[in-house]
Amino acid sequence: MSNSPTPSTYADAHRLSITDPDVFWLDAARGIDWTRQPTTAVDSSRPPFYRWFPDGELNTSYNCIDRHIEAGRGDQAAYIYDSAVTGVKETITYSQLLDQVEAFAGALRAEGVGRGDRVVIYMPMIPRAAVAMLACARLGAIHSVVFGGFAAPELAIRIDDARPKVIVTATGGIEPTRRIPYFPMVAKALRLSYASPSAVIVASRAEHFPDEVFPETPGVTWTDWDDAVAVAEPAGPVAVAANDPLYILYTSGTTGMPKGVVRDNGGHAVALAWSMWNVYGVRPGDVWWSASDVGWVVGHSYIVYAPLLVGATSIIYEGKPVGTPDAGAFWRVISEHKAVALFTAPTAVRAVRKEDPEGLEIGKYDLSGMHTLFCAGERLDPETYQWATDKLGKPVVDNWWQTETGWPIASNLRGLDPMTIKAGSPTVAVPGYDLRVLDGEGNELAAGEEGNLVIKLPMAPGTLLGLWEDDERFVSSYMSVFDGYYSTGDGGFIDSDGYVYVMGRTDDVINVAGHRLSTGSMEAVIAKHPAVAEVAVIGVRDELKGQRPVGYVVLKAGEVRDPEQLRSELVTMVREDIGAVATFRDCTVVQGLPKTRSGKILRKTMRQIADGQENVPVPSTIEDPQVLEDLAPFLRQQG
């Protein structure tokens, strides 16, 4: 394995990556071990379906594990599991991880899982979640991890779309205030779905869930992980084409149906390894901590895969930034395991600041080995940036990206060419991304002018291949909004120094505590209530969580309901259909919703009023301005 630090300045590296992607990325591809070395970087023959390293072959799990053992890292920790909710701490060396991954890959293979088959993984933050993902990668199978905070119907939607052969789960997840048994949710999801996986394999946490027994699910056998492994032959790495899918990760779009983002093997491995060296400044042997969840893209990329691709150690943390047990949790983990960097969401930093505004907990721990705090998932607001910088006395680096891209679009490249940090900006476009700002008509805007953030095609390697079995939606969602560009769905501007400012979504996707959620899916649930005629859910600004969803419902003619009772029923419905993670708590009954003459609800206008913006422009196509005027006091009150 080698890192090939292309040009040594950011400007040269970025320029080369755009003008000659073959030279740039074939060089970066030397950081990966291939069973067939690629000779071309990007295949642009079928736009907008770009493919990376089209003639390359590799195995991602081999690159994450085996080759480091061959290079003498067998006794180094691959993962450190630190569970603040159970008190368990465990180190898994690269050699131990290989044993576990090849054993579990064997168990999956015994269930008939092979190259191209799907496996849904519904797991809490335990090492076996990562083992299951790597085991799929070993077989050339495609995993689809579903975040544990999603309820059964959301799990069912993903099962139906991915049609897995096997589901891998655990007895349950542990939140600070409650235990969440997974069996009832998996059983319910199986009842709700049409797809027919043949097996569920369970990582036992019986010590925390003594009363849980395997449910009866016709046609589906439930097996304990250890039992499944005991009777299976360990599986070696299967070489796959660079463009074979590694995973599908569902993410929120504007409608209720999530988008199944498909990631490749080759581009993903190259881009992530390159990013560890050049964006995050992480070297083989370093301990790195991404305090996200394996159910999100940050967890996929920077807990499970990227640290292992470069032979580093990755911390798997089961806990929260506060309350497990206190606001010193982050600093304890960093000092105890000697992490060189922490990657978290700004909302987590705000949660820590709220509990410990003076940063007294920080002083209790030795953070001398830590070089950077990285943030992503939502905009790092200047106030939070300033607090963290002052209290930590270390660079606090924002990075902007999305499930679709899989790694940063904009960042400050700490390993390549660290740049001055400007509060409120994730710094510059990362090599591989030709970032532009366009107005609604597709004209390029000048420095400082706010518009749609788009990426000129082709995007960087590691970005989405497409949406699972839905080329049409892929093209209509991202590729045909502006011809020749990928539309990020974010708005913002680039200043005269090339610094990017991401100001928020231009669509109805919201970001609650670093979790990307669809207001459309909440509306779909609320609309099922028998008294509800129509509903709009918008994201309003929230000091701690960035945004929170607020619903406005119009009742059917003749319906009279106690507002508090109705609110509580709707909250329960959203919680049961989408999950606790939706944090849907506020709902108001109103007389009408503002619409255009073609019937489109003016959610953006509603959001702007709720966020307290002055002189909000009202579209000339509004059907009845009086409806908006009547609604405005309610919006201001919620915001």
**What is the binding site for ligand COA (CB under 6 A)?**
148-149, 173, 175, 180, 292-293, 296, 298, 320-322, 344-345, 347-348, 351, 376-377, 513-515, 580-581, 583
Residue 614 neighbours by CB under 8 Å, 6+ apart: none
Residue 180 vs 419, nearer CB to ligand COA: 180
Partner whose footprint covers residue 153, from ligand COA, ligand AMP, none (CB < 5 to 8 Å by kind): none
CA distance 546 to 117: 38
DSSP result, 186-254: HHHHHHH-S---SEEEEE--TTT-TT--PPP-TT-EEEEHHHHHHTS---PPPPEETTSEEEEEEE--S
| Site for ligand AMP contains 378 (CB under 6 A) | yes
Region of 1-9, 397-405, 528-536, 624-632 interacting with ligand AMP (CB under 6 A)? 397-405
Structure token digits, residue 171: 């007895």
CA distance 387 to 113: 49
Partner whose footprint covers residue 172, from ligand COA, ligand AMP, none (CB < 5 to 8 Å by kind): none
Give the torsion sign (CA, 529, 530, 532, 534). positive
CA distance 253 to 75: 43
In whole angstroms, the minimum distance from the beta carbon of 334 to ligand COA comes to 15
In whole angstroms, the minimum distance from the beta carbon of 319 to ligand COA comes to 9
Structure token digits, residue 70: 């061959």
CA distance 266 to 252: 25
Q: Distances from the Cα of 492 to the Cαs of 34, 432, 456, 503, 540, in angstroms?
A: 39, 19, 16, 5, 18
Contacting ligand AMP within 237-296 (CB under 6 A): 251, 296
CA angle 581, 587, 593 (to 5 degrees): 120
Contacting ligand AMP within 348-377 (CB under 6 A): 376-377
Give the torsion sign (CA, 123, 125, 127, 129). positive
Partner whose footprint covers residue 586, from ligand AMP, ligand COA, none (CB < 5 to 8 Å by kind): none
CA distance 176 to 180: 11
Residue 574 vs 593, nearer CB to ligand COA: 574
| Site for ligand AMP contains 379 (CB under 6 A) | yes
Partner whose footprint covers residue 251, from ligand AMP, ligand COA, none (CB < 5 to 8 Å by kind): ligand AMP
Residue 51 vs 548, nearer CB to ligand COA: 548
Interhelix angle 346-355/382-392, nearest 10 degrees: 60
**How many helices and strands (H and E) does the chain possess?**
20, 32
Partner whose footprint covers residue 148, from ligand COA, ligand AMP, none (CB < 5 to 8 Å by kind): ligand COA
In whole angstroms, the minimum distance from the beta carbon of 376 to ligand AMP comes to 5
Q: Which x/- pattern, by CB under 6 A, does the window 413-432 give for ligand AMP?
A: -------------x------
Residue 303 vs 392, nearer CB to ligand COA: 303
Partner whose footprint covers residue 505, from ligand AMP, ligand COA, none (CB < 5 to 8 Å by kind): ligand AMP
| Site for ligand AMP contains 391 (CB under 6 A) | no
CA distance 92 to 126: 12
Place of tokens 């027994």: 213
Q: Which x/- pattern, by CB under 6 A, does the window 493-532 give for ligand AMP?
A: ---------x--x-----x----x----------------
In whole angstroms, the minimum distance from the beta carbon of 345 to ligand AMP comes to 8
Among 117, 286, 490, 523, binds ligand AMP (CB under 6 A): 490
**Binding-site ranges for ligand AMP (CB under 6 A):** 251, 296-297, 376-380, 398-403, 426, 488-490, 502, 505, 511, 516
